[in-house]
Structure 1
């Protein structure tokens, strides 16, 4: 048997791959494989699986996992796993970790015998085996020490690779290898010496001496130390050697524009471009930088060019290719080639062909070590002929759209700056003192600029010389979406002009009336934040496949960006431009049409999601006269797909709802949305505040619904209000529904209202009336032989009996609810009934029984079984109550804290409720939990 675990987890026996279920079995087998042939006690497995606090059933779970593992392996013909007396041993197993260690030892043996050429490929193979997150397929935490060992081994191998390259005389490659090692270990004398020796071998002693000075300065600044003796001796030898001279050839251009005054937040990208320029594998060294207008491409290119200028003694040439310069035509390849040749003092003939210019360009640069900065390219065709040929020259190319340059060794796409970096940039322009004095305004401006460096630079520059009053006024102006783009301009620099250049490029390429331009306009009027190909198709009345192609074009032109699989969004400033561009006379009509299409799309979408999630209602939902109809082809194969769509689209649904909330024709869909919201939230982690809004939309339209959906929307409204701590507001709604149900069939609704009313009164501490209604509901449910209604009536009865101080009666009714749940055949009702019983037992003093039930509920028989978010929080709180009853206050508090963390992460409770529980040693449950657990 072979266990693969370094970069992924896989088990093979012979030619057969073995699948292991769950998350724990792979970890256990990996641990045993690492200790192959040695005894491993259960206690060590326990500490690996539960490093903080193991459950009481830990050893039983481990025994079950080992038994299942042994069965799986034996069925595949492997009998090397044995367990006895809580000791287990795995024999006859090999691992990729063991193979790696064996190969490393073999390579080092070859090096010790001066056979560096043979050792090199083996070392490179070993280093390539170790990813950035070793053991990541197992969850790194239980294997942290092994992961750290492998990362340290990879660093050592990188140094040994560079050493072998040096010994083999492959100095250029040795420089690249040693440079990477040095950049990640700048304080290491070993790494510095290796890099300096490689540079000396490559005849670049000046750079080697510079590296020593950098190392010396860093050691002094950070550690207060001098370089070690070996490094100082190497430095002395380099000073005594006569460094080869790099005499410039012909004219030496120094054309770089001034370096950006402020450069923050792009250090990783700058390091990547710098490394790309220094790569020497016999091919042109090209770094391509792409991103939307104003994202900082030119600033990055110039920063790197200035930093690396010393490595290119034969000149630095800068050309603005004017690919997206407003009012200017892009520079042709022929014009650009003439400019470069003239920069090096080479004359050109007026009628010289493009091919001839390109040949001369490559010839002139063949023996030079020069740097070209090709800024603001329009497309690949414009720059393809401007790439140096063989030799040691390099190029940095910037463009809005990603370039398909086969010569580009590095392609970087820039994203907006994160909040901390954006704040640093604003502060750098405004000045630290002024930024601190206007911190609220700075935060507001950062949000308005959306991380776009051009917008941040304009805002910071305008504020630098402004008075306090003008800064506050400017911040308020940026808060206004209608005025924001106009405000973000300074002299001849403007964000709007930068965005317009991309849009005009799109319109020039596809036509002003093209589908892609029309989609851009419609998306600008869409009130949601994200959109998919289905949304886009609905907005222009096209199928999703066609819309997906159009979205790819918009992404290619940097007007939208992808944020997930088939999910896109605008940068906020681009969205404002998209909504503003176009003939003003038809704006209102276009907006109404876009909203109408969005309404139809989401109306169909929520009905299809509901029909998938609640199959029993599918026929009614799809055949109802109220079913909205359009060309949307959205369908869901699995319930999880429907829930995932609903969760991701909920914010958009709310946005569309608020934009068209006075349209009665949507009532049917709002009812479905609200029913979905209560049915699958919070198990799928949605925001309850959004659900409240949707419930309100539907409740206000209930007069347009069928009898059944009118009852359901009242239940949704009741649930929403009870879980917000407002049960008294539910009574008029329930009275209205009860009166309606009394006059119509089926009679089951009358029992349902008794249950809902009992729960409401219980939440108001009117336990006597709640108990009476529950008893009445139990009797009527049994007459109807309806196990589900009987179950809920017994649950409400148990809760209200407890409120009356009838502990034994509460436990008895809870036990009866479990019987009714089993009769219904619904496993989730059985779990709910057991949870109800466990709470009653804990409060009746039977805490050990309660603890065992909650332990069992939190450790389902199926290890892959998922517990819904809200149920997990309830079970954890119940376990906390049981542990508190047993005097285990610390363990109880840990469960309470874990429960509220689950609820807070899902957006079910507010931060204030989370902190209230955390700061109280014997906390009361938040409102949501208090109403849910009775």
Structure 2
């Protein structure tokens, strides 16, 4: 069987051409052509769909491709059974590959003959080169696919290979003094490429060498006129030189190639550390047979050490590429403009032994010549600092045996679709960072200043460029002085240099300039966020452009390595990038920054309130104005989602109070603080609860709102009570009572009375606590407020402590009924805990166990770890009373573990319980 894709797509079987109808529709011919152009390498399904339908594939695209494949398999392997595996058009790598012997595919034969011609030409055997190249060009019946894929990059590249082969034939024929053999082919090529100066110049030289000066002059006039009429240009250097030769006598001697082995790799980094996994990934990518050039991309943020890694590996494997190593800094990011691929190719062609004048005009033609020169060779190409896929594609060799390593600050998705292997380059961990610093300064320096060394490593945040700059600073100054500069001037300023290539701020700025304006603005806005870790919803609120546009901007920042995609829906700026983002945020105009801050704080406030309402539907919260447009608060489907969100955002919520106060949003600060009080209390984060409450109180004082101040004092009283700071608790209790009375809020005043009863109960002042609880309960009952259920439960506990056990149990039962009617799970758990204590004291062990077990389950559900620990402690007491010492030890141990994590003083009680079992046997 033979397959033709050069020109019309045809298939021959047993020397009889299969009808074109059998080959199929234009889509099937295009699919077969794409697979042939890949040279046996797999082509991904999405790449096939993109080629067949551009940017607008139908919904049925996948099914259509499968149908095309099924039909083509019948054409290519008619004898294959339905259950037999395909051997020609195979499924591979998430797509398909065409596996044909070279002699069965015209494109493969064309390329093989071009490689042979290039090899003969490089060895100075020009007549043999002419023979091979002429045979190759006879196979060329037109662009691959016969026009069905004329705009596809792979077809364009193949046309470039043909143009390069034509030029190579012309040069070889001139060198062999056989110009007449080249004239017909060059004339045909000039007709197909009427504006390609290199082809026309070579045609003119061939006519001249063949002794036909009039034909040479006519060819010059034709292209001169066409350039002037269609492009408004005069002939270039190559055409003028060819014309001058026609006018001036005998043609110049053709350029002769010389055998050169390029070795362009720069020196590697002397203090290279770590990266073992990345080096292994590079080895694996090159060792794995692909049927073509192995391509690996190294991507990572600016300054992370991509070039150092590429050069380390390249030097290590250089002997595996005996035909040379090519290196170029593509200048994709940084000062100046990115290099044009055509200019890079001219340099590569010269490095491979041809004079610069022999490089054809146009990137496509140069790509073809470059690939021809590398045919049959083993050359390593390192393309450093690439800007995008389009800059890289023309620089990729086409034949097996070569390897390419591309470094870039951005992901290169087009190359990955084409089959490249991606290796991400991450920040160094602290141990590797310390090793890099030791490699620069010597282990003795670090041993002499260990603390300062650790602080420098931490300040540099695992970024090798930052560590290198810090090491340079420390070359003639103590590390302690470097630390002082980092602390005083700020990291970016302390690590600044006069050299743009080593200046961290300049490196980040270049990456920032490379992204789209919307993504760049979002990066600046992320500097307003109080944490370097940002959930998607908060980023979208900052952007204020809607969810879809916000997600696109986030993806662009991740692709540019300005943001890390930590896990689904959460992103992180590494520490130095966070500093850079905050610097840029400070320069934002108020007209941009102020609305973004309003959206972010409203997003956090209303999301927190929604989460708390999901966990505790009956938590009191005074209404607040609705969120500003674009704030888009998070909604929660269930308790688990609300708990997860609050746990993930706790640090941000605490910091957001300071963010609000520092930007003059005092009322918002009070509301954000109040919204998170429930969560901080339930998690046992009472130090933070106090800190947040104090910041909110200072804000409320500035607002001069008595009710806000009253609420802040009440929350601070609760925090002081949890922390057993009785004087502070009494102070805040007194102020809250006064302010709620001044605000004329009887319910708020009643709740403070109940809170005061809790405070005094904790101090053992049971009589005063009973009076406060009774007064608060009466006010809440008269107001019909649901808070009476909790107040009644507290009143029952105080009755128990006053020795009124039966009355206490009755109060708890009434409270429990109210809690269940309200659906208030925390209140139900709190009342069950108190009931269990009463039942245990009355000798009802079974009833006590049921109450405490259910209380522990409910506290666990609502996320109150302290009360869960308290319930387990009481459950252990019940087990001991029943004589089950093993169960008591297990329950007290679990309680102790939770209380120790919370750093709660009740841990001492749990420890004492366990100690009381010392020597006891279950």
Give the alignment's TM-score, normalised by structure 2. 0.62
The equivalent position to 1:692 in structure 2, one of 690, 708, 713, is 690
Shift of 1:882: 3.6
Q: Is residue 2:662 matched to residue 1:658?
A: no
For residue 288 of structure 1, give the secondary structure of its aligned residue in structure 2.
strand
For residue 357 of structure 2, give the secondary structure of its aligned residue in structure 1.
coil
* Residue 898 (structure 1) aligns with: 894
The equivalent position to 2:471 in structure 1, one of 452, 460, 466, is 460
Partners in 2 of 1:798 and 1:545 — Cα distance? 54
* Residue 575 (structure 2) aligns with: 572
After superposition, the Cα gap between the structure-2 partners of 1:297 and 1:891, relative to the gap in structure 1 and judged at 3 Å, is: farther
Shift of 1:377: 1.4
* Residue 333 (structure 1) aligns with: 341
Counterpart contact for 1:265–1:421, Cα < 8 Å: yes
* Residue 398 (structure 2) aligns with: 389
Shift of 1:409: 3.4
The equivalent position to 1:555 in structure 2, one of 558, 564, 576, is 558
**Deviations 1:80-126 (CA, angstroms, capped at 9, x unpaired):** xxxxxxxxxxxxxxxxxxxxxxxxxxxxxxxxxxxxxx9999xxx9x
**Deviations 1:396-427 (CA, angstroms, capped at 9, x unpaired):** 11111111214443112222122333233333
For residue 589 of structure 2, give the secondary structure of its aligned residue in structure 1.
helix
Q: Is residue 2:495 matched to residue 1:487?
A: yes
Q: Is residue 2:345 matched to residue 1:375?
A: no
Which residues of structure 1 form unaligned runs of 5+? 1-117, 129-248, 925-934
Partners in 1 of 2:551 and 2:823 — Cα distance? 44
Shift of 1:299: 1.6
* Residue 302 (structure 2) aligns with: 293
Partners in 1 of 2:550 and 2:832 — Cα distance? 50
User: After the TM superposition, which residues 385-784 of structure 1 pair with which residues of structure 2 at under 5 Å, given as runs?
Assistant: 385-403=394-412, 404-405=414-415, 406-463=417-474, 465-466=475-476, 470-480=478-488, 482=490, 484-487=492-495, 489=497, 493-506=502-515, 514-524=517-527, 526-531=529-534, 535-536=538-539, 539=542, 542-580=545-583, 590=589, 594=593, 597-603=596-602, 605-607=604-606, 609-610=608-609, 613-614=612-613, 629-634=628-633, 636=635, 638=637, 647-661=647-661, 666-667=666-667, 669-681=668-680, 683=682, 688-702=686-700, 712-739=711-738, 747-777=746-776
Shift of 1:325: 4.3
Counterpart contact for 1:762–1:800, Cα < 8 Å: no
Q: Is residue 2:333 matched to residue 1:324?
A: yes
User: After the TM superposition, which residues 162-241 of structure 1 pair with which residues of structure 2 at under 5 Å, given as runs?
Assistant: none
After superposition, the Cα gap between the structure-2 partners of 1:254 and 1:741, relative to the gap in structure 1 and judged at 3 Å, is: closer
The equivalent position to 2:903 in structure 1, one of 902, 909, 914, is 909
* Residue 263 (structure 2) aligns with: 254
**Deviations 1:332-384 (CA, angstroms, capped at 9, x unpaired):** 22232233334343445345133332223223323122322222212111111
Partners in 2 of 1:771 and 1:914 — Cα distance? 24
For residue 372 of structure 1, give the secondary structure of its aligned residue in structure 2.
strand
After superposition, the Cα gap between the structure-2 partners of 1:875 and 1:569, relative to the gap in structure 1 and judged at 3 Å, is: same
The equivalent position to 1:365 in structure 2, one of 355, 360, 374, is 374
User: After the TM superposition, which residues 266-285 of structure 1 pair with which residues of structure 2 at under 5 Å, given as runs?
Assistant: 266-285=275-294
Partners in 2 of 1:707 and 1:483 — Cα distance? 43
**Deviations 1:641-669 (CA, angstroms, capped at 9, x unpaired):** 666555544444444432452677542x3
Shift of 1:391: 1.6
Partners in 2 of 1:565 and 1:419 — Cα distance? 26
After superposition, the Cα gap between the structure-2 partners of 1:503 and 1:589, relative to the gap in structure 1 and judged at 3 Å, is: closer
After superposition, the Cα gap between the structure-2 partners of 1:494 and 1:675, relative to the gap in structure 1 and judged at 3 Å, is: closer
Shift of 1:709: 6.2
Counterpart contact for 1:602–1:653, Cα < 8 Å: no
Equivalent pairs counted in the alignment come to: 659
**Deviations 1:214-257 (CA, angstroms, capped at 9, x unpaired):** xxxxxxxxxxxxxxxxxxxxxxxxxxxxxxxxxxx954333333
Partners in 1 of 2:757 and 2:862 — Cα distance? 31
**Deviations 1:505-529 (CA, angstroms, capped at 9, x unpaired):** 34xxx5xxx4544444444455443
Partners in 2 of 1:426 and 1:644 — Cα distance? 39
Q: Is residue 2:868 matched to residue 1:872?
A: yes
Partners in 2 of 1:761 and 1:663 — Cα distance? 38
Shift of 1:680: 3.2
Counterpart contact for 2:856–2:867, Cα < 8 Å: no
For residue 286 of structure 1, give the secondary structure of its aligned residue in structure 2.
strand
Shift of 1:855: 3.6
Give the alignment's TM-score, normalised by structure 1. 0.61
After superposition, the Cα gap between the structure-2 partners of 1:794 and 1:292, relative to the gap in structure 1 and judged at 3 Å, is: closer
Partners in 2 of 1:876 and 1:285 — Cα distance? 61
Counterpart contact for 1:319–1:373, Cα < 8 Å: yes
* Residue 248 (structure 2) aligns with: none
For residue 724 of structure 2, give the secondary structure of its aligned residue in structure 1.
coil
Partners in 1 of 2:808 and 2:283 — Cα distance? 73
Greater relative contact order structure (CA < 8 Å, 6+ sep):
2
Partners in 1 of 2:557 and 2:882 — Cα distance? 62
For residue 752 of structure 1, give the secondary structure of its aligned residue in structure 2.
helix
Shift of 1:580: 3.9
Counterpart contact for 2:298–2:422, Cα < 8 Å: yes
**Deviations 1:473-492 (CA, angstroms, capped at 9, x unpaired):** 10121223535434354976
Shift of 1:834: 1.4
After superposition, the Cα gap between the structure-2 partners of 1:352 and 1:689, relative to the gap in structure 1 and judged at 3 Å, is: farther
* Residue 274 (structure 2) aligns with: 265
Partners in 1 of 2:831 and 2:619 — Cα distance? 28
Partners in 2 of 1:479 and 1:743 — Cα distance? 47
After superposition, the Cα gap between the structure-2 partners of 1:677 and 1:319, relative to the gap in structure 1 and judged at 3 Å, is: same
**Deviations 1:906-925 (CA, angstroms, capped at 9, x unpaired):** xx438xx799789877479x
Counterpart contact for 2:379–2:401, Cα < 8 Å: yes
- RMSD over equivalenced CA pairs, Å: 4.4
Partners in 2 of 1:839 and 1:739 — Cα distance? 34
For residue 375 of structure 1, give the secondary structure of its aligned residue in structure 2.
strand
**Deviations 1:432-464 (CA, angstroms, capped at 9, x unpaired):** 33323322212221221111111123323543x
Shift of 1:731: 2.4
* Residue 56 (structure 1) aligns with: none
For residue 429 of structure 1, give the secondary structure of its aligned residue in structure 2.
helix
Larger radius of gyration: 2
After superposition, the Cα gap between the structure-2 partners of 1:829 and 1:646, relative to the gap in structure 1 and judged at 3 Å, is: closer
Partners in 2 of 1:555 and 1:283 — Cα distance? 30
